[in-house]
Amino acid sequence: MMLCGDSGIEFRCKDITCILNQHFNIVLFTESTVLYGGAVTSLGFVVPTKYLSFIKTISKKHSYSTDLSKIFTFSNEKDKLRLQEFIETQKNDTSYEIIKDIL
């Protein structure tokens, strides 16, 4: 996978790849492929997304307090803890929009 945008901690929510760097992001993949380093790989764009909007789009029942293991699949516990730290900085923001393009 080749990314257009900042990389960071990668985890998944169902079929959606998410990346955490200074922002919460989703990766939107194109139908195009690229040749990089002698290998053909998929091309994805890293798109900053409001965390609360994302989890409310996945399920209206989700909130900041929802167990992250019920929403995401992490490669290790350290990545989960890093996302929990990020969420703590977002809790004062209670506004959100449903993201129709990822439904």
Task: Work out the pLDDT band at 102, boundaries 50, 70, 90.
Answer: confident
Contact 43, 34 (CB under 8 A): yes
| 33: its two tokens | 């492929």
Q: Please say if the pLDDT value at position 103 is more than 80.
A: no
What pTM does this model have?
Answer: 0.88
27: exposed, middle or buried (Cβ count in 10 Å: 0-12, 13-18, 19+)? buried
pLDDT (mean) for 91-99? 93
| pLDDT tens string 43-94 | 999 999 999 999 999 999 999 999 999 999 999 999 999 999 999 999 999 9
Given this model, what pLDDT does residue 11 score?
97
What is the C-alpha separation between 71 and 11, in angstroms, rounded? 10
Cβ atoms < 10 Å from Cβ of 55: 22
Given this model, what pLDDT does residue 37 score?
87
At what angle are helices 51-58 and 77-90 packed, to 10 degrees?
A: 110
